[in-house]
Structure 1
Amino acid sequence: MSEVIYLEVDRSNQAILSYFLELPANQSRNMDYVPATSVELTYLNGLEDFVFPPGMVATLSDLEDFRKRLAANKAAATSKAQATPGKPSQKAAQAPQKAVQSSSKATPPATNNAAQANLIAALKKRRSNKK
């Protein structure tokens, strides 16, 4: 899915106008051809379809910003994985224990039945006092 696609970029305003699967043999003086991946093309299409107002096109700076964010995310994920290799498994094991302790299923059914019986008796007593 990471095959190279060539984006046609207008030199005057850096607007991405089109894309090619192969580098065009006849290149124009007004256009540059920038290699990109299909993931980057999908991102740029998403910007144009869902983010930008009608008539606005993606530019080379949008592609560069996407590449910077992608590189920063990869660097952050790599540094987190190298910093604490044993910690996530310990935290994951502790989290379910807290959830089980705080759930209502920890109360035995007999206690729930007794509470329900007490509530019904109190309601009946209250109704009989109102009459």
Structure 2
Amino acid sequence: MTTTKALLFGRGRERAVGLVVGFTVAVGVVAAATLVASAVDHRTVAILSARTLPVVMVYAPAPIAAVGAYARCGGPACLAVGVVPVVVLGTLLAVASALGVPGVDGGAWIADLMGSFLAGSVASAFVGFCAGVTAALVADLVGVGSDE
């Protein structure tokens, strides 16, 4: 498989699925911890999770997508890393709203919040994907990486 095709479409499905599922689990744990901390109203945990959630939602997709691109997981998997945080957080907020968790109402602000996070996390994943592709091409050019 040529380097370009491997970078754009991926080489191994197992690697790509592992990348997306692993990141989904990590985001789910952080988002659930944030909701639990908000419901329990424990100040220290709430402050830590309030600082951790934006990092996972907006900044983490870039390095994850860069590693995925360098490992030749493919563009769709790397960009899915940008969509994962929004889907996970939106699902958790919808479930929390349906269960009546204090502080989580089902207002229209959830759609605005999800749209903002989606734009940020997909842009972050795209930048990371471009960086990973560049790193892989440079490594192949220098002879450090291998196409096979």
Normalising by structure 1, we get a TM-score of 0.28
More strand by share: 1
More helix by share: 2
Normalising by structure 2, we get a TM-score of 0.25
